[in-house]
Chain A
Amino acid sequence: MNNAMPREIRLNAFTSQTPVHLSPGLWRHPRDQSRNFKSLRYWTELAQILEEGLFDGVFLADGIGINDVHGGSPDSALRHGAQVPKHDPLLLVSAMAHVTQQLGFGITATLSFEPPSLLARRFTTLDHLTKGRVGWNIVTGYYDSGAKALGRATVTAHDERYEVAEEYMDLVYALWEQSWEEGAVLGDRASGIYAQPEKVHTIHHHGKYFDLDSIHFTPPSPQRTPLLYQAGASRRGRAFAAKHAEAVFVAGPSKRVIAPIVADVRAQAEQFGRNGRDMLFFTLMTVIVGETEAAARAKHEEYQRYVSPEGVLTLFSGWTGTDFSRYPLDAPIVPAEVDSAVASMIESFTVADPGRVWTLRELIAHNGIGGRGPVIVGSPEQVADELLGWIADTDVDGFNLSYAITPESYRDFVEFVVPELQKRGAYKTAYVRGTLREKFTGGGRLLPPSHPAARFRS
């Protein structure tokens, strides 16, 4: 890598429409506004802060279902607001778009549960209304509670979920890329012709999981297919990302965990005939920054006082599938005596101090903020060093930036870190014009010919 000209760091804000996203308990902090997640003004203010900081996008998480691993019921998740309630992220977009010009939107939608023609219409609508600023984070339903909510006995087996997803993608690509030719819409006041029917094609799809005979309900939007995000870390999920994703979200506590995932997905993309460099990787990160290191550390300590241990364990129980309510908080954890999911979680969080014996409470105190990603605490210079180190050592393109408290964490980042990164030539000083895809790839507004969606074009 050329040291004189570091590559541009990409930034998304990683959030969701819940009282707690990745920092349980911090909604009780006096300056935190998480409780306003039901208010439009909270979201439009956040969008404006992010655009002021030239963030590439806001990435809105979602999941259909409730974390009910901890204690075997949703009670703990409810008590701590741990990603429940969870409201529909698609409905935030138009209001946030109204108060911004350039900010992108990465919106999670679960293809396992959404009828394809309706999902396709929703994203086309949003891409129109935002003038091409929309991305779709493709997820498959993984909560059993979500499957039951949708009237199914259990969640579809993991690998088959991806088989369904492949067919689903073919279907929505056909609607987005093939149904309406370029130039189909005339809107010609003189002739009275709105669109040329010979350039609008009925999609006929009869597959293993889906049937459809229809035109797409809406004319093509600026990007046609929204920018495609994906976040699968499993073997099958990585292959899916390598084939379809333009932006990939990864999460892990250390560079050692992230670097091989990035390398693997980029390499797999080449096997699909794509350029692995065309994909942007965002790794989960939380930054606590102040004018000085001391100020940042003081802030961190202050935040930590609000961490909710049970809330943290509820999230970890969901992620690992292990019910942490079974373990005492203050007993030392002997890796050989806990099950493997717990052992590997502990290992991943103790890389900094591998010889130490931890209690669950201590682990929580150190890892209660920012979920499965690292927390960087320091002065603007220290944070910039650390972020650039991550880029250099893992080959990610940027960060999915979580928060300790909101919107303060984002405001601090914009005030302290953005200027420092700009000074180092590692961050844009103005947005590139155009759609989200143009901003991300430097290419056109449509998916490139190497992408599997391109073959659907007439």
Chain B
Amino acid sequence: MTKEIRVNAFVSTSPVHQSPGLWRHPRDTSLAFTDLDHWTDLAQVLERGLIDAVFIADSIGFNDVHGGSVDAAIRYGAQVPKLDPFMAIPAMALVTEHLGFGITGNISYEPPYLFARRLSTLDHLTNGRAGWNIVTGHYESGARAMGQTGVVEHDRRYDIADEFMSLMYALWETSWEDGAVVADSIYVQPEKVHRIKHAGDYFRLDAIHLAEPSPQRTPVLFQAGTSPRGRAFAATHAECVFLSGPTPQTIAPRIADIRRLASLRGRDPADVLIFAMATVIVGATEQEARAKLAEYRRYVSTEAAVVIFSGWTGIDFSKYRLDDPIPYIRKDNAVTSALDVFTVADPDRVWTLRELAEHNAIGGRGPLFVGSPTQVADAIETWIEQTGADGLNLSYAVVPESYADFATYVVPELQRRGRYKRSYAPGVLREKLYGAGRSYLPASHPGGAARTVAFG
């Protein structure tokens, strides 16, 4: 039996996620992102395709690199505005039974005590289907929205994140023992509930957790660190890692490195599930898929793509004309990998800004798999083999059509090849990912270790 390919759906609560301009497509429903039905419909489409989890991106702050202001991002809806990603989840959980939820929450700005309760509540209400994508605040505009004078320097953000995590583990794993809730003659045995006292470099807390232990205790932990410090963090904490790059060569070494780092930390490297971003455009035939892509491309907004590209690279491309060649630029303290990967992938080619922007305008920084079901399945299998990833973080061109197409065309083909589940595994999200009996974090994980140390 070859290894099962995992698939998450990668979305955001914004009119544009990775495919700028495509909200104008007549079949795209992105503009309905403020409607609850948009989210419950999407959840049902995803569950029909046996998608493991919906991964909802978020960030506190805005892309204001292009032209030095947020105006261009607002004009094109380029990841602005953004709703709170948690709020629609309970309704999505109500209309599904198995779909997991990987929701982005920002440790730089959320008060730990309340954040821990929010995730515990969600894990209860979803019967153990909650996941948390751990991010730190990297936008200056986000820092200013939170009353801070500037973004905390990159490596220190991860030091803060490490402390935040230890606080989360204390609340989730060690405040309430298993069996504390009896709900018999009494509701809780108080001697099995423990006060957490924490006085660290960045946080203080002295309280019992306000929520009783949820089915998974700690939600499934997602992370997307690309930098060396981010990778070390992922190797320590993450169960699911999300990364993106246009070629197997760009991401295979990062995947290997994260697994190696996890292993050094005493974790089973196979316990870190890696999801690489990809977009699939598929039809009954290759011709149909190509026609669909051509049709989608007509709705790409080059201007919006340039805005997003400016945000990724930290380079203000408003200063360049669309058809001028882009010189080799390097900028050290932003997300530098975006520009690097293109020059690395095809070092001899001279790109114009228009070409670069449009190249990434459908599906962002990941590969685009276009073709018949067989061709797409081949491409996915090859990609998985060459990268060592466990699955895909599936972005979309047109929503929900891209996911409906994936369910209709690609899922049966992957199932036929024994590479995709035919039904969801029972249990909580962690059990669906790792097997029965794995409701909680294992002892090899720092969260599981905290519980083991506390209760044996």
Contact = CB atoms under 8 A, between A and B. Distances in A.
B96 to A, nearest CB: 11
B75 A189 contact: no
Contacts of B193: 74, 78
A276 interface: no
Nearest to A152: B204
Interface string A162-199: 00000000000000000000000001010011111110
A39 B36 contact: no
A217 B111 contact: no
Interface stretch (A111-119, A321-329, A361-369, A430-438): A111-119
B226 interface: no
A95 B207 contact: no
B287 to A, nearest CB: 27
B113 A121 contact: no
B89 interface: yes
Nearest to A191: B24
6 closest A-B pairs by beta carbon, nearest first, are: A194-B77, A81-B187, A149-B207, A214-B145, A197-B71, A151-B204
A92 interface: yes
Given A94-B89, A95-B94, A150 B71 contact: no
B327 interface: no
Contacts of A196: 74-75
A319 interface: no
B120 A87 contact: yes
A319 B23 CA distance: 53
A65 B89 CA distance: 25
Most buried by A among B81, B190, B208: B81
B284 interface: no
Interface string A70-109: 0001111011110011111011111101110000000000
B146 A94 contact: no
Given A91-B118, A118-B109, A129-B35, A40 B94 contact: yes
B81 A85 contact: no
Contacts of B125: 38-40, 91-92, 95
Nearest to B195: A74
Interface string B58-95: 00101000000111101111001111101111111111
Interface string B154-191: 00000000000000000000000000000101111110
Contacts of A213: 144-145
A351 interface: no
A179 to B, nearest CB: 10
A126 B34 CA distance: 9
Given A84-B188, A215-B74, 8 more contacts: A38-B124, A44-B94, A81-B188, A95-B90, A115-B111, A187-B77, A215-B62, A217-B83
Most buried by A among B62, B122, B146: B146
Interface residues of B, number: 77
Contacts of A17: 121
A150 B207 CA distance: 9
A221 B190 CA distance: 43
Contacts of B31: 187
Interface of B: 13, 15-16, 21, 23-24, 26, 31, 34-36, 39-40, 60, 62, 69-72, 74-77, 80-84, 86-95, 109-111, 113-114, 117-118, 120-122, 124-126, 141, 144-147, 183, 185-190, 193, 203-208, 210-212, 214, 301, 303-304
A53 interface: no
A84 B212 CA distance: 9
B76 A122 contact: no
Contacts of A140: none
B93 A194 contact: no
A32 to B, nearest CB: 11
Contacts of B205: 148-151
A75 B190 contact: yes
Interface string A50-64: 000000000000001
